[in-house]
Amino acid sequence: MNPRWIAERMSHIEASGIRKIFELARSVRDPINLSIGQPHFDVPSPIKDAAQAAIAAGRNAYTLTQGIAELRAKLSARIQQRYPHPDREVLVTSGTSGGLVLALCTTVNPGDEVIFFDPYFVMYPSLVALAGGVPVVLDTYPDFRIDVDRLRSVVSPRTKAIIVNTPANPTGAVLDPESLRDLAQLARERDILLISDEVYSAYCYDSPFVSPAQFNPDVLVLDGFSKTYSMTGWRLGFAHGPRRLIDEMAKLQQFTFVCAPSMVQYAGLAALDFDVTEIVADYRRKRDRVCAALRDRFELVEPGGAFYVFPKVPWGSGSEFVTEAIRHSLLVIPGAAFSRRDTHFRLSFAADDRTLDRGLEVLDRMARR
């Protein structure tokens, strides 16, 4: 084929480092998989039942681009209870990642700067590039906290948006309310769109979840059902924010994703009534178990949320350490997949206890090398 067929924008988008690890691991027999960024439990039965009932009832056609009225009403009631902003509207999206695509393509012009924080979710650099934006990456090592004064120093007249993710992937870091308040106020003062990625909001272990939308009515929130209810493959998310912005995102969704899957939206209605308290408590226990096992041999920041730990490697680079781990049948992700540094690795504790114990034993042996 002619290489000119490939658009120039694709030169700014690299294959995910996570995919590279999966390719390396294909030959591993009986892998100890602590790499997956999804819950290890099955979709709860009431949610599966609701999806099956929707299919049986013939609810298989396109829905309104904005989402079915019942789901939007239920989401809106919850959102308005927390954020009583008169201009806040909700949009059902095809996954939280789909919402991020819509948000960036709706707001970012070529040359606009978008600030996000290192370590970051793997999609952020590529999706900013897809929208024609310029990524501006602010380092948060070693404690993964946001220094708002440092952030202020990198804001420029070209800054269009800031993306914040709390609880965070890959670190599990949960930002304190004061940092979120200062971040939200800075965005408002400088007339910058603050995009809050809250897909892990259900997994906060040491304190209640706090959103920057509590401090700034113009914050755009992206959330979804995938992590909370293990519905990762079902592609159901939602966004809420200023009405004009949500309307523009809906307009773009009409010509891209069209709508979220119809039967999954009806399942989402059931999901909103499902109590995940016991699941979150079990993940808190797993967090404590993993941190206790790693703390003596690895430098790490205890995660306050999500289901990841992001330790610093005890020797070599993150990529070298992970390559050696794969030789021991352990699948984890090098920190370079999420960062401009190659000093850490991501471990997901969304796994059964036996798998966790096997993985922790391998890590203990490797750290003793």
- Give the pLDDT band (50/70/90) at residue 25: low
Q: Above pLDDT 70, what percent of the chain?
A: 97
Domains of the chain: 3-43+276-367 (3.90.1150.10), 59-271 (3.40.640.10)
- Give the pLDDT band (50/70/90) at residue 319: very high
Tell me the mean pLDDT in the region 23-28: 69
- Give the pLDDT band (50/70/90) at residue 7: confident
Residue 65 has pLDDT above 80, yes or no: yes
Strand locations in 79-178, DSSP E? 88-93, 113-118, 134-139, 159-165
Strand locations in the chain, DSSP E? 32-33, 88-93, 113-118, 134-139, 159-165, 193-197, 220-224, 237-242, 308-309, 330-331, 333-334, 345-348
Q: How much is the pLDDT for 19?
A: 67
- Give the pLDDT band (50/70/90) at residue 357: very high
Residue 23 has pLDDT above 90, yes or no: no
| CA–CA dist 146, 340 (Å, integer) | 17
Q: How much is the pLDDT for 255?
A: 96
Residue 184 has pLDDT above 90, yes or no: yes
pLDDT digits (tens, 9 = 90+) for 74-126: 999 999 999 999 999 999 999 999 999 999 999 999 999 999 999 999 999 99
Structure-token pair, residue 304: 């306050």
Is the separation of the CB atoms in 274 and 44 below 8 Å? yes
Q: How much is the pLDDT for 12?
A: 80
Element (H, E) at 61: none
CB < 8 Å & 24+ apart, contacts of 120-124: 120/163, 120/165, 120/338, 120/339, 121/165, 121/168, 121/169, 121/170, 121/197, 121/338, 122/16, 122/17, 122/18, 122/337, 122/338, 123/97, 124/163
- Give the pLDDT band (50/70/90) at residue 17: low
- Share the mean pLDDT of the chain: 95
Phi–psi pair at 161, nearest 5 degrees = -150, 155
Q: How much is the pLDDT for 4?
A: 87
Q: How much is the pLDDT for 164?
A: 98
Q: What is the 3-state secondary structure (H, E, C) of 334-360?
A: EHHHCCCCCCEEEEECCCCHHHHHHHH
CB atoms within 10 A of CB 256: 13
